[in-house]
Structure formats: structure tokens, C-alpha cells
Amino acid sequence: MSPKGTEIEKARSIVSSDPLVIERGDGVLTLINNDAPINRMSLEYMDALEAAVVEAANDSEVRVLVFTAAGDKNFSVGMDLKQLQSDAGRMRGFEAILDQRLRVLGLIERLAKPSIATLYGYCLGGGLELPLACHFRLAAREGAKIGLPELDLGTVPAWGGTARLTRCVGRDQALDMILRAKKIDGPGALRIGLVQEVHPLDQLKKAAHALALELAAMPPIAVAGVLSCVVGAAALPLEEALIVEREAVKRCAKSKDQFEGMMAFMEKRRPVFTGE
């Protein structure tokens, strides 16, 4: 994205019919599902989201992404099921729709920039699968209903939910949630390691933005290196993962940010990282 932003960037007080509203500033890109109160993940939303994530990946001014939704009722009830039977859904085809959603979540997960999701109200199906692809998940202390209840519809999670939830909370907790179509609250999600933090609902988005600013102040080259090691190399054998780590260290050693970090430490001041 250019420094001036795009046509879909709006103010925090959302007055727009766009399916995705984008806000940016201080290195943080906030992507808002604009379908209150239930914030379905429509075909149009996913098209806009894919374009925004691809742009953000290549925009050096964007250091952190925050995924949230309009209003304070629900993060998302997931896919707009009615669209699957609509003319638009039939024209695209079921397989193509699922392929796109898997592709977008894969892009988010592999970003060299941290991503944060806010979980509040209904976070069901795709409304949990998208946060599972993010690096940080913050939940509301009250009112959240988080789950993958696809078995109630006679099917299974289709956007990588089974795999990512298992990797996040372990086999037993994943089976308990999915096979029983359970919906857990924020404190329950924190207890099993599904989210890193819980906050009062009225402070959740502010907490996510504060975390985003904290992460945006970190050295981008080193951040990308950590993500390549912890996320990208997670499934590699130890010896191969150590090679990935060594390459990340070598990239940092050539950066101005590493010099700045060391000088700031010796001069007892806060470092200012530029991404160079």
C-alpha cells in the first residue's frame, strides 16, 4: 500500500458499505470485517481481505496487522452459508471458495509481520479459523463464544481448523471442542492456551492496538527472523530448524537495526528501529 493509503481506508467510526474497512497508522494495519452485528465472512469480504493481506506483505510501512470486526457484538459467525447456494457461490464453485479461504489464511500465517486477532461474541467456524492463523489472539473476558461447531451442520471444519486448533491446544482439547461442538468463553480459551490474553470487552480492541504498537516498535528484520524460526520452521527437524535460526541471525548481523539496538543498550536509551 502507498503511504497515502487506498480507497478502502476509513476512519474508526465506520460509515461505509464496504465489506472490509482498513485503518492504518504508526505501522499498524487494522482490517475490519464490516458486516455488523454478526460479521459474516462473505465472498466479497474474502476477496478484499486477500488483496489487503497481499498488499500489506509487500508494504514496508506496515509492521503489524490487526484483524477485528465492526461493532462490539461479534467477531464473526464465519462463512455466509447462504452465499454458497447463491448465483455468485454456484458460479465460483464450492472447491474454489474453500481454496481461496485456505490460501488467505495461509498468507496470514506465513506473514513476516505479526498478526493479532480480537475474539469477542460469536467466533465460530471461520470466525475462529482466521484467528488461528494469526500469531496473537486476544479474547473478551465476558460474552465470547469460541468454537468450531461444524459437526452440528453435519460437516467438519474446512479452513484448516482441525490442524491449527490441534497444533495450538493439543489433540485432546481439540477433540473435546470439535467432536462436542463446544463453544468456550474467553477465560476458558486462555486456560487451554487458545488465546494469549483476555480483557474486558470494552477494552479489548484498545488492548489489541496497544500490543500492535508494541510489536511495531520492534526491529522488523529480527521480527521476521523470529517468525521464520518459530512459525516457518516449526515442523522441521531440530538440525534444520537451527539452520533457519542461523540464517536469521546472519541477516540481523548485516542490519542497521542491530547496530542501533546495541548502541542504544550501551547508551541506556530506547532504540529506534527503521527496518534497515
Which tens digits make up the pLDDT trace of 154-180? 999 999 999 999 999 999 999 999 999
- Is there a domain that residue 3 lies in? no
Q: Which of 129, 142, 197, 267 is catalytic?
A: 129
Write out the residue range of the structural domain in which residue 212 sits.
Answer: 20-216
Question: Quick one: pLDDT band at residue 7, thresholds 50, 70, 90?
Answer: very low
Summarize the confidence of residues 209-216 as an average pLDDT. Answer: 98
- Nearest Cα to 177, choosing from 220, 213, 148? 148
d(CA 106, CA 160): 9
Summarize the confidence of residues 204-227 as an average pLDDT. Answer: 97
Q: Which of 95, 150, 197, 214 is catalytic?
A: 150
Summarize the confidence of residues 214-229 as an average pLDDT. Answer: 96
What does DSSP say about strands 20-25 and 28-33: parallel, antiparallel, or unpaired? Answer: antiparallel
Give residues with Cβ within 8 angstroms of 218, minimum separation 6: 63, 273
CB 252 within 8 A of CB 225: yes
Looking at the structure of the chain, the number of domains it has is: 2
Could you tell me the CATH number of the domain that includes residue 85?
3.90.226.10
Same domain, 100 and 84: yes
262 pLDDT higher than 70:
yes
Higher pLDDT, 51 or 1: 51
> For 99-150, how does the pLDDT look when each residue is reduced to its tens digit (9 = 90+)?
999 999 999 999 999 999 999 999 999 999 999 999 999 999 999 999 999 9
Same domain, 51 and 76: yes
Same domain, 236 and 123: no
- Nearest Cα to 276, choosing from 99, 265, 262, 259? 259
Summarize the confidence of residues 184-196 as an average pLDDT. Answer: 98
**Percentage of the chain lying above the pLDDT 70 cut:** 95
Summarize the confidence of residues 233-262 as an average pLDDT. Answer: 92
Summarize the confidence of residues 221-227 as an average pLDDT. Answer: 96
Summarize the confidence of residues 77-87 as an average pLDDT. Answer: 87
Question: Quick one: pLDDT band at residue 275, thresholds 50, 70, 90?
Answer: confident
Identify whether 150 is a catalytic site residue.
yes
- Is there a domain that residue 163 lies in? yes
Q: What pLDDT is recorded for position 94?
A: 87
Same domain, 196 and 239: no
Question: Quick one: pLDDT band at residue 3, thresholds 50, 70, 90?
Answer: very low
- Is there a domain that residue 4 lies in? no
CB 142 within 8 A of CB 134: no
- Is there a domain that residue 135 lies in? yes
d(CA 202, CA 140): 8
Mean pLDDT over each residue of the chain, to the nearest integer: 92
> For 59-80, how does the pLDDT look when each residue is reduced to its tens digit (9 = 90+)?
999 999 999 999 999 999 999 9
- Is there a domain that residue 10 lies in? no
d(CA 29, CA 213): 10
Q: What pLDDT is recorded for position 15?
A: 59
Question: Quick one: pLDDT band at residue 89, thresholds 50, 70, 90?
Answer: confident
Q: What pLDDT is recorded for position 14?
A: 56
Same domain, 149 and 112: yes
